[in-house]
């Protein structure tokens, strides 16, 4: 149980375009979803936290107008990187947790490359 999927697993886009990444909880209801960014051989950096049906809470330094997060249902959250630039290239990982649980289950990640 507790399976989280992400799509796409890899994406290459041109500078200035927008990219949407989907995160789905496949076998449980995710009341809260988290979006992280990870640099090579580094730990996870939390970007934002979202509850289903509510606006996301962004971490300090993360531009909410650049990284748009939607958590429209208990099984789906999306992260849209708007007007992407090469410095946005990174490994983006989502996680999901159910109500009352401190455990987060992670998706397999999305490798974004902006050319």
Partner 1 sequence: TQLLEQSPQFLSIQEGENLTVYCNSSSVFSSLQWYRQEPGEGPVLLVTVVTGGEVKKLKRLTFQFGDARKDSSLHITAAQPGDTGLYLCAGADRGSTLGRLYFGRGTQLTVWP
**Nearest distance, CB of residue 104 and partner 1, angstroms:** 6
Q: Least CB distance from residue 81 to partner 1, whole Å?
A: 18
How open is the CA angle 8-11-17, to the nearest 5 degrees?
Answer: 115
Distance in Å, CB of 69 to partner 1, minimum: 13
> Could you give the string, one character per residue 43-72, with x where binding to partner 1 holds by CB under 8 A and - elsewhere?
xx-x--x-x-----x---------------
| Rounded CA separation 86/98 (Å) | 34
Structure tokens at 82: 């708007």
Find the farthest-apart pair of alpha carbons in the chain and give their distance in angstroms, rounded: 41
Which residue in 70, 80, 82, 101 binds partner 1 (CB under 8 A)?
A: 101
**32 vs 75, which CB is nearer to partner 1?**
32
Token pair for 14: 């041109």
């Amino acid at each position: 149980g507790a399976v989280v999927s992400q799509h796409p697993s890899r994406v290459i886009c041109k500078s200035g375009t927008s990219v949407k990444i989907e995160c789905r909880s496949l076998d449980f209801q995710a009341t809260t979803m988290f979006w992280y960014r990870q640099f090579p051989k580094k730990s996870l950096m939390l970007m934002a936290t979202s509850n289903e049906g509510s606006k996301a809470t962004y971490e300090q330094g993360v531009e909410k107008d650049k990284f748009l997060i939607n958590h429209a249902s208990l099984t789906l959250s999306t992260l849209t990187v708007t007007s992407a630039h090469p410095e946005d290239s990174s490994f983006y990982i989502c996680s999901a947790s159910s109500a009352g649980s401190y455990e987060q289950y992670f998706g397999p990640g999305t490798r974004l490359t902006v050319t």
